[in-house]
């Protein structure tokens, strides 16, 4: 598409259109975490982690060392995600 065209329409939505079955019962503020590229020490988990217990041991090690825990992409894909949400890659990010 060299010259895409279209029309944008701004609409006002009245409150009665929103689903009123949803109720907020509590808000928990998440602590802001620093990027692992700023960490002084990192404990990295990879394919050697075979079960959640292994990852828990590495988490404890990182805590004892005052380090950040990071996981490689294959481990994140296998587990679905890391609780910490940090990816350690060859690019160092």
Q: Residue 66: which CATH number? A: 3.40.50.1220
Q: pTM for the whole thing? A: 0.53
Question: Would you mind telling me the total number of residues written for the chain in this entry?
Answer: 93
Domain of residue 61, residue span = 39-93
pLDDT at position 26 over 90: no
Domain membership flag for residue 22: no
Mean pLDDT throughout 73-82?
70
Mean pLDDT throughout 39-65?
89
Query: For residue 52, which phi and psi values (nearest 5 degrees)?
Result: -60, -30
Domain membership flag for residue 10: no
In the chain, pLDDT over 90 holds for what percent of residues? 11
Domain membership flag for residue 91: yes
45 exposure class (CB count in 10 Å sphere: 0-12, 13-18, 19+): buried
């Amino acid at each position: 598409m060299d010259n895409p065209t279209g029309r944008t329409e701004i609409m006002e939505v009245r409150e009665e259109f929103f689903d009123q079955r949803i109720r907020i019962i509590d808000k928990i503020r998440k602590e802001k975490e620093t990027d692992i590229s700023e960490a002084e020490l990192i404990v990295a988990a990879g394919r050697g982690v075979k079960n959640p217990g292994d990852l828990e041991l590495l988490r404890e090690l990182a805590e004892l060392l005052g380090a950040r825990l990071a996981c490689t992409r294959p481990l994140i894909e296998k587990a679905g995600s890391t609780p910490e949400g940090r990816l350690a890659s060859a690019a160092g990010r």
